[in-house]
Amino acid sequence: MSRRTWTTIALVAALVLVFGVSFVVGGLHTNPDERFVGTDSAATAQIEASHPGYVPWFEPFFQPESGEVESGLFALQAAIGGTVLGFAIGALWGRRRGEAVAPVTTGPAPASEPTD
């Protein structure tokens, strides 16, 4: 096998290992009812534990009616971000491919002779 194949296999194995370790660690050290809470909830719990009299500076101006609406808005945000990222990567890839195909000229274009 070539070096490129081995590199691909090693990267896929590392990716599987990272996900496997994170799932095992996350499953062992959290409450089963709170496995998928976000960092906002974890930060709020930590602040309330360390400073019981803390008063927030402001309240959210929009509170979704249910968890489904909240997760739908999050999915929409992720889709928009993925679209922008995909467009940027595609544009850069196309620009690089266009530069590789375009002929390189070093001097001025030759003058054309007039025809009768």
CA–CA distance from 10 to each of 14, 16, 24, 53, 100 (Å)? 6, 10, 21, 50, 30
For 8-26, how does the pLDDT look when each residue is reduced to its tens digit (9 = 90+)? 999 999 999 999 998 887 7
Tokens of 1: 């096998």
Tokens of 62: 């929009």
CA–CA distance from 54 to each of 61, 79, 80 (Å)? 20, 35, 35
What is residue 107's three-state secondary structure? coil
**pLDDT tens, N- to C-terminus, the chain (116 residues):** 889 999 999 999 999 999 999 888 776 666 666 666 677 777 888 888 998 888 888 888 888 888 888 889 999 999 999 999 999 999 999 988 888 776 666 666 666 666 65
